[in-house]
């Protein structure tokens, strides 16, 4: 006698498959970053798969450039009678900081986001603040 095992389409298989495709699972390291120097600029290519441009924020404070990605989703499936068959919620945040120097201003930083890649450009040389000539009083 010969047995064949057919895999039935199972609700829980779908649930766990989609859950483990979420950005925090699967052994994936979020925000893998390539840094290169070109034409007097540092260019950072930050991988943020599964996130949209609206989910990503960049801040600059005390010489630290911080990239934060935050996502909230709620998926609900109902049968023909309106009963919930499956409901999934996902909330996740990830961030990464880079020290870029205190001479960098927010106007020096330029960013774009396309196909899950955040591209950040900033100058390699920090602009020195113009100092006023100050006189020291002699006593």
User: Is residue 79 domain-resident?
Assistant: no
Domain count, the chain: 1
pLDDT in tens, 29-47: 578 999 999 998 999 999 9
Domain of 101 in residue numbering reads as 31-70+93-123
Report if residue 108 sits inside a domain: yes
* Residue 57 belongs to some domain of the structure: yes
- CATH number, residue 37: 2.60.40.790
Q: Shortest CA distance to 63 belongs to which of 105, 34, 35, 108?
A: 105
Which segment of 41-55, 82-96, 124-138 scores lowest on mean pLDDT? 124-138
CA dist., res. 109 & res. 111, Å (int): 7
Does residue 25 lie in a domain region?
no
What tens digit of pLDDT does each residue of 2-35 get? 433 444 444 444 444 444 444 444 434 578 999 9
Distance from C-alpha of 21 to C-alpha of 103, rounded to nearest angstrom: 40
* Chain-centroid distance, C-alpha 26: 16
pTM of the model: 0.64
User: What pLDDT, on the 0 to 100 scale, is given for residue 82?
Assistant: 81
Q: Bridge partners of 64? A: 61, 99
């Amino acid at each position: 006698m010969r047995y064949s095992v057919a895999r039935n389409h199972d609700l829980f298989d779908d649930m766990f498959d989609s859950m483990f495709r979420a950005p925090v699972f699967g052994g994936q390291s979020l925000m893998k970053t390539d840094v290169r120097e070109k034409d007097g600029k540092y260019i950072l290519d930050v991988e943020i798969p599964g996130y949209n441009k609206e989910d990503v924020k960049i801040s600059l404070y005390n010489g630290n450039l911080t990239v934060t990605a935050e996502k909230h989703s709620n998926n609900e499936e109902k049968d023909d009678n309106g009963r919930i068959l499956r409901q999934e919620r996902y909330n996740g945040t990830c961030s990464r900081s880079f020290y870029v120097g205190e001479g960098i201003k927010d106007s020096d930083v330029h960013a774009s986001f396309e196909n899950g890649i955040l591209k950040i450009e900033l100058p390699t040389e920090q602009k020195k603040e113009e100092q006023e000539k100050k006189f020291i009083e002699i006593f």
